[in-house]
Amino acid sequence: MYGARAIITSPQVQADFPSNCPITSTCGGLAYVGVLDAFGSTRDANGNAVAAHPYYEGAFINAAGITNPLEVTTIVSHEVGHNAGLNHAGLIRPNQPTLDYYSGTGNWGPIMGTPYNRALSQWTQHSYSGANNDNGPDLPILANNGIASRADDTGQTLGTAVPTGWTTRAGSITAPTDQDLWSLGRCTGTVTITATPSTYSTNLDVSLTLYTEAGGTPIPLASVDPASGQSGSGSSLRATGVSATFTQPGRGATYYALVRGSASGPDGGYGNLGPYTLNASCAGASLPPATFVPPAGPSFTDVPTSSTFHGQIEWLSAQGVSTGYDNGNGTKRFEPSAAVLREQMAAFLARYADASLSVPETSPFTDVASSHVFLSHIAWLAGTGVSTGYANGDGTFSFRPGQPVLREQMAAFLYRLAGSPSVPPSSACSFTDVPSNHVFRTAICWLAANNISTGYADGTFRPGQPVLREQMAAFLFRYDAAGLPVP
């Protein structure tokens, strides 16, 4: 039988191996390297032929210096790691001797070092700063020597997501690339989701993402990955921030929770492995998860499934907010890269709000005739205060229906649609092209605070650029997903 036995003994390990583990040292244990799956025969100290595995196996843990259970779990993992072929994780220090055993930093330490005072100990890929081990990442070495990763127990796609419903389930992250997708069901109340690994002697720090689905495309709604740390010491040492939770209003959509290891940390999150508990609750009307049925195909000929905003555009169509343009052959196009006109924006928002529309006796704007196709939508927009139009200087106002909607105007429209709520301090809004005196700064900062638009990678918002139709689909989808109010 192959494997390894961890033998906790004191002071026998030091008596039997005085040169390797002297009594005067703080030796935690010792073990042969790479013998976990050894086979064949070898010679004992007397020259007799013996079976190799039982002769070499055994990871000895010296209990003499152990002060708490956390050290037991750490040393057992370390010595069994030697049996499975791992060498020490050390640290190269400039102008100082190299450390054979690295204790780690913050709340993190490598199992093959000495992470006794770290609440989060992990197998490592040796990418942390100053790593001295060039034998390669730990996990392939463990697998090659007989300790393979657990089989994945949860799917990663909409079609393979585990239908858990609004309840508590157990899961496990089994590899650095593993991510578990759970199908929760529909919810029209408050959605609360928590993923919790152990906080004592843990190897796992999780991140959590809430998804929904539109047009067969998973769409992320919100993510949380708290900064981790630790509290206490000795037997009371606990990891903090390794769990993830969030709460937000539900809108009746089908929700999915994605759990994976955090990518943060000195080693890039490589060793985030282990069990966790997922708790999902809906404080309101809910339905259990249904079997995912892939759509027959895209609704619009110019929005393939590979499109960045395919899911959001499919959602917009399913909500009746936009039906696109007729191609004349029974198909439709969306024209995703075309700018949204102000008259179209009025129609989009009125349909999204399921507004009760009526044609006014008098148009509120001088440039919107009584025969205008979107008069009732534009009048609703004015009546709700979402748009006040442009002053003509004589007490009347124009709407400029054929002009594109600018990004700053879109921010103002959605901000007013939500009731002009309070906004976090302006310091939290850091767009480089939205100065403190910008006329729409409050609306733009509100938009960013609610993750409706986070701007561009270069730190700009580009307030004077037109809004594209595909962008508007994404903005409205995120507005809806955030559970924001509708007049």
Lowest mean pLDDT among 21-25, 212-216, 306-310, 325-329: 21-25
Amino acid code (one letter) for 178: D
The ranges assigned to domains in the chain are 6-144, 162-287, 310-481
> What token pair was written down for 424?
């976090």
For 202-235, what is each residue's pLDDT tens digit? 999 999 999 988 878 888 888 899 999 999 998 8
Instruction: Give the pLDDT score at 449.
Output: 85
**pLDDT of 97 strictly over 90:** yes
Dihedral pair phi/psi, residue 114, rounded to 5°: -130, 70
Confidence of residue 145 (pLDDT cuts 50, 70, 90): confident
pLDDT score of 220 = 85
Confidence of residue 422 (pLDDT cuts 50, 70, 90): confident
Tens digits of residue pLDDT in 429-462: 889 999 989 999 999 999 988 888 878 999 999 9
List the beta bridge partners of residue 190.
249, 283
User: Among candidates 461, 452, 403, which has minimal Cα distance to 431?
Assistant: 461
Distance between CA 430 and CA 433 in Å, rounded? 9
More confident residue, 45 or 478: 478
pLDDT at 222: 82
| Tokens (6 digits) for 130 | 């100053």
Residue type at 330?
A: G
Whether the CB-CB separation of 205 and 228 falls below 8 Å is answered with yes
Q: Where are the beta strands (DSSP E) in 225-368?
A: 229-231, 238-240, 244-249, 254-261, 274-283, 286-287, 325-326, 332-333
Q: Which of 122, 66, 67 is nearest to 239 (CA)?
A: 122
Residue 338 has pLDDT above 80, yes or no: yes
Which tokens is 27 given? 């030796």
* Confidence band, pLDDT 50/70/90 cuts, at residue 311: confident
Task: Judge whether 152 and 255 are in contact, CB under 8 Å.
Answer: no
Q: Which pLDDT tens digit goes with each residue over 353-406?
A: 999 999 998 999 999 999 999 999 999 999 999 998 999 999 999 999 999 999
- Angstrom distance (rounded) from CA 195 to CA 260: 10
CATH fold of 162-287 reads Jelly Rolls (2.60.120)
Question: Could you tell me the sign of the dihedral formed by the alpha carbons of 139, 140, 145, 149, in that order?
Answer: positive
- pLDDT on residue 1: 43
Taking the C-alpha atoms of residue 56 and residue 206, their distance in angstroms, rounded to an integer, is: 37
* 117 DSSP β-pair partners: none
294 has pLDDT over 70: no
Residue 453 CA: distances (Å) to CA of 208, 376, 385, 456:
20, 28, 22, 9
Split at pLDDT 50, 70, 90, the class of 62 is confident
Most confident region among 277-286, 410-419, 476-485 by mean pLDDT: 410-419
Kindly state the percentage of the chain with pLDDT values over 90. 58
